[in-house]
Structure 1
């Protein structure tokens, strides 16, 4: 196929994926909001540290509730409609955070935005994985993480002019009302763009809507004249195999193949969250303050946000150049080294302040490199793999379980960081998460299968052992 024809064929997929992954941008604004909002809440509303900590911590609980609901809607209602229905309550949540001053109402608004952002975590990767050709599925899947980074992801995670960057830059010069109002814009933009994309052809085929699936696939492959025979046959076979296996929730526990998929999916969520990413996200400013940085902590946060945007863009280019396993192992081991260095710095700060003062640049460098490694693998690829490995008949339930696990761990990590620092010290806390990163690298080597350049049906057959 010549280059112009290939561009025409893939441009609609790119538009659909980017439209869907604006949900990642919305999620990023939710994740990044607590960092600049914390000082504003204390200054403008005079809220206690306990309330402010809950405004940060309740967000993963809202996302967890979304995972539970997603397990019942994705395989029954579809991918497109639930995503569209998230926009209005998303905007409502931001309005509550913009104009209400009562702590309980703020908690409700934060829970709502967490719920809507968390719902995107499940539906966006599934949708993107099902509409994409296998040659570009990984790159389009990484777009979700790219949008999150752009917006403010949890890193400081999970598109230009992006996330963290968006929230951190806006938060540096805005008051609390304008910070939240500006965060309401991305859900509106998402609704406008995503309204024009079709439902997942695989879902339509699973509902015996062959004519609608054919029309959707033609739209996604470049129009009425597009050759969709091979893609349609592949998707039809995938749906047929899913029906033949008759997967149900119990199969997650009794089927070896489904159990292996679930083990991989859950293991990747544990690896990502226990790598300490939410520590970097939620406590970035506090970490720089504790490190005694000579720079403005907000400026340091913006710098690491820029680094993550650039790193995530780089990952969209490199993700198809090597296997998923290689990037994830490189990512986890690199993050482990960076956290090890962070621990060394804080150990020296306590035992040898003079030496620590001479290497005051180390925390910023370590955090930037940490986010670089995170963006190359541990951030985007678990979501890409989740969209690829699960058989169609359990994909919605399985993705929701993995997403729910992710948010549960996010809540635990973010709420226990201060307790760990108080119990064992900042240096030992970073070394603990560093050790987890190295253990995750070994686990990925032995347990995660390679999915690059394989159809969804080929991946399923490999897991089953056919």
Structure 2
């Protein structure tokens, strides 16, 4: 049997996921920029933004993401995964230009919506592409690269933002987007796209490039791919198909995963990270605390690609749900003490940093990284382009509601109660994962469908060459 080069699929998936670095930079942009928008010297506007305007600047990113998630399915099927990934750069560049030229709040709103469109497109097309180019034994690792690149983007903006001008922060964002646009141009297409178009020769060439083998060496795997594509083309997926059989089980699991991800409060925490530290009166400088959190986030994200195909998705999700609950309850406890003006709060000014470190580490291990690759695994090929945009749109609707009304909720109930609510959602996530989510580690797409049907999805009787 001809040996391949495993590193190639990691390099290619890493390049595809580079757009997530740009998205992470965009998502974390509000943490340092909110402070600048309150300053007469640093703001590009002629006045400080109001609290309501600040909330809209944070949350409108997710409105764009809803639009991006809904429109990405059509080009992915028509022009291919590669060119769809390249097309994500267009709204990103437009958004950054609007933010660079902003002289009023309306331009900031428009810029955030445009960059949000890229976010919605990227979170849908990149996991799909990564799952399609991966071998079974590395699909979890390749899918988890999304979180690694995302957190790199957060750390970049946390490290740059507080120390340079508003304009410089935007120019770095433009530069990152330009690097991605150039890199993606040289990427191979997904072999599934070529097979779907009936172009087996191009699919063979593409797969050979990804595997680092000759076209003859990938022919067995290509034949299995072609059989799956042929089976999927016998069915035309419609929205109503999502509510039948295995598809419905995959659908409600995917919807629940993104709901738990968002109701952990992650986007509220990341968008308003600097504000949280300032509200807590932490003994550490807010900008330094934010960089610490970004560094921890990146380090924790690097664990999942190593563990997803060893420990399995289910175990990591349970650890993640339990850990995020602990971190949120600790954070909530601190704010309850501080809001009651208890003198103990001054002695434990370090607690918000510790609580957020626990929250961020465990979030990155599961809730942050695994919903996307699991989603790409659970749905049959013909259903993915219908289901994934819908699930992603639902995800960003929840993200909008949480980021838009986080400040209002915290003002009405107190920061402490708000974090307790998020923590309770993470407890529910733990038990949902324990009882309802199947383990997909090392299983082929066909075996996963058997598992959803109530079978064992057993791979023990199969050799590696039998698996796809």
TM-score range relative to shorter protein: over 0.9
1:39 to 35, 43, 48: 35
Q: Which moved more, 1:363-372 or 1:64-73?
A: 64-73
Partner of 1:94: 96
Q: Which moved more, 1:38-47 or 1:372-381?
A: 38-47
Which TM-score applies when normalising by structure 1? 0.93
User: How far did 1:465 drift?
Assistant: 4.4
Q: Per-residue displacement from partner, 1:173-227 (whole Å, max 9, x unpaired)? A: 1111110110111221112111112211112212212111111111111043662
User: How far did 1:389 drift?
Assistant: 0.9
Partner of 2:188: 198
Partner of 1:156: none
Partner of 1:337: 326
Q: Per-residue displacement from partner, 1:122-177 (whole Å, max 9, x unpaired)? A: 000000000011111111111111110110xxxxxxxxxxxx11001110111111
| 1:174 matches 2:164 | yes
Report the number of matched residues: 449
Distance in 2 (CA, whole Å) between partners of 1:365 and 1:85 is: 40
Is the 8 Å Cα contact of residues 27 and 118 (structure 1) preserved in structure 2?
no
| 1:282 matches 2:284 | no
Q: Superposed, which structure 2 residues align to 1:97-108 within 5 Å?
A: 97-108=99-110
| 1:213 matches 2:203 | yes
Q: Secondary structure at the match of 1:451?
A: coil
Q: Which moved more, 1:241-250 or 1:257-266?
A: 241-250
Partner of 2:126: 124
Is the 8 Å Cα contact of residues 248 and 393 (structure 1) preserved in structure 2?
no
Q: Per-residue displacement from partner, 1:47-67 (whole Å, max 9, x unpaired)? A: 422323211111000010001
Is the 8 Å Cα contact of residues 145 and 380 (structure 1) preserved in structure 2?
yes
2:356 to 345, 348, 367: 367
Distance in 1 (CA, whole Å) between partners of 2:237 and 2:449 is: 13
Is the 8 Å Cα contact of residues 314 and 437 (structure 2) preserved in structure 1?
yes
Distance in 2 (CA, whole Å) between partners of 1:460 and 1:192 is: 37
User: How far did 1:243 drift?
Assistant: 2.7
Q: Per-residue displacement from partner, 1:30-83 (whole Å, max 9, x unpaired)? A: 101111111212322224223232111110000100011013332333211111
Distance in 2 (CA, whole Å) between partners of 1:307 and 1:51 is: 30
Partner of 1:80: 82
Partner of 2:450: 461
Partner of 1:69: 71
Partner of 1:28: 24
Distance in 2 (CA, whole Å) between partners of 1:208 and 1:428 is: 56
Is the 8 Å Cα contact of residues 16 and 194 (structure 1) preserved in structure 2?
no
Q: Per-residue displacement from partner, 1:362-385 (whole Å, max 9, x unpaired)? A: 110010111000111110100110
Q: Secondary structure at the match of 1:321?
A: coil
2:218 to 228, 252, 256: 228
Partner of 1:376: 365
Change in 2 beyond 3 A, CA 1:202/1:177: same
Q: Superposed, which structure 2 residues align to 1:240-259 within 5 Å?
A: 240-253=230-243, 255-259=244-248
Distance in 2 (CA, whole Å) between partners of 1:108 and 1:352 is: 40
Distance in 2 (CA, whole Å) between partners of 1:322 and 1:128 is: 20
Q: Secondary structure at the match of 1:295?
A: coil
Q: Per-residue displacement from partner, 1:395-426 (whole Å, max 9, x unpaired)? A: 01211111111111111111121222222222
Distance in 2 (CA, whole Å) between partners of 1:56 and 1:321 is: 37
Gaps of 5+ in 2: 456-468
Q: Superposed, which structure 2 residues align to 1:263-302 within 5 Å?
A: 263-302=252-291
Gaps of 5+ in 1: 152-163
Is the 8 Å Cα contact of residues 57 and 109 (structure 2) preserved in structure 1?
yes
1:357 to 329, 333, 346: 346
Change in 2 beyond 3 A, CA 1:101/1:226: farther
User: How far did 1:443 drift?
Assistant: 0.8
Is the 8 Å Cα contact of residues 67 and 401 (structure 1) preserved in structure 2?
yes
1:60 to 62, 66, 78: 62
Q: Superposed, which structure 2 residues align to 1:371-450 within 5 Å?
A: 371-450=360-439
Is the 8 Å Cα contact of residues 24 and 144 (structure 1) preserved in structure 2?
yes
User: How far did 1:245 drift?
Assistant: 4.2
Cα RMSD (Å): 1.6
Moved over 3 A (4+): none
Is the 8 Å Cα contact of residues 328 and 423 (structure 2) preserved in structure 1?
yes
Is the 8 Å Cα contact of residues 29 and 157 (structure 2) preserved in structure 1?
yes
| 1:11 matches 2:1 | no
Distance in 1 (CA, whole Å) between partners of 2:37 and 2:415 is: 26
Q: Which moved more, 1:219-228 or 1:113-122?
A: 219-228
Distance in 2 (CA, whole Å) between partners of 1:409 and 1:359 is: 33
